[in-house]
Structure 1
Amino acid sequence: MKKSTLTQDNIWMKEPEEHDFPAAQDYLELLLVPDAAKKIVEDLKKAPTIIKKSKDILRASRLPLLPETNIHVKENLKKVQKNKKLSPILLMRGQNDLIIADGYHRLCCSYYLTEDMDVPCRLV
């Protein structure tokens, strides 16, 4: 897909996929007690989908940009090439940074497509 044809609507789904929420909970249980992780995921399910720039999400998370050669980043880039849409990213505000509960590889993929990509996400 050419960069000139990249838009939020042809790259991203409007709502997260159902399997993203258990994945977010699994990750958050590494950072929080299970009941707190479960509550955050329940809040993510109810939160509206908002739009943020991929470069801003990456900066706020303080995570490194994964290489394009990362298997999951490559899989997501291939999905986009095949006109398959990516699921929105699930985010949580931390003490001093943003926690990507689910979608880190999708975020890196979108950054490689264009760092100014509008990314649908849920934020709590």
Structure 2
Amino acid sequence: MKKNILTKDNIWLKEPEEHDFPAAQDFLELLFPSNQAQKIVEELKKAPTITKKSKDILRASKLTLLPESNIHVKENLKKVAKNKKLSPILLVRGQNGLIIADGYHRLCCSYYITEDLEVPCRLV
């Protein structure tokens, strides 16, 4: 994989895929009451897609970088190698840091490509 030619425009979709929102809600329901999680997801659906560097998202989330050997990270790296685009990441500002509601594996994948890669995301 030629890392130097990969940009946000050729590895990322412009908008999240529809199945990303129910996945985000499932995760958010572990942190918030169901009705609040649903409201957050509705906000994510309406939010504009912005870009942030993968290293900054990872730092703000306070999560550890998954290993390249992680099955989902590996699958996403294979997708990129086959010129298949990844879905933007869904983010929520939390009281104790950034919450990755959907896209943790995609974020880790992008970090392995280059930590300075601009990652499309929705942030509420």
What pairs with 1:75-114 in structure 2 (closer than 5 Å)? 75-114=75-114
1:96 CA displacement = 2.3
Partner deviation per Cα, 1:25-77 (whole Å, 9 max, x = no partner) = 00000000000000000000000000000000000000000000000000000
> 1:37, 1:118 → 2: CA distance?
27
SS at match of 2:10: helix
Aligned residues: 124
Quote the residue 2:58 is aligned against: 58
SS at match of 1:14: coil
Quote the residue 1:43 is aligned against: 43
> 2:49, 2:121 → 1: CA distance?
5
1:3 CA displacement = 1.1
Using structure 1 for the length normalisation, give the TM-score.
0.99
Report runs of 4+ in structure 1 exceeding 2 Å deviation.
none
Q: Unpaired runs of 5+ in structure 1?
A: none
Q: Which amino acid aligns with 1:29?
A: E
Cα RMSD after superposing both structures: 0.4
Q: Which amino acid aligns with 1:2?
A: K
Quote the residue 1:2 is aligned against: 2
> 1:90, 1:75 → 2: CA distance?
19
SS at match of 2:39: helix
1:121 CA displacement = 0.1
Partner deviation per Cα, 1:69-93 (whole Å, 9 max, x = no partner) = 0000000000000000000000000
Using structure 2 for the length normalisation, give the TM-score.
0.99
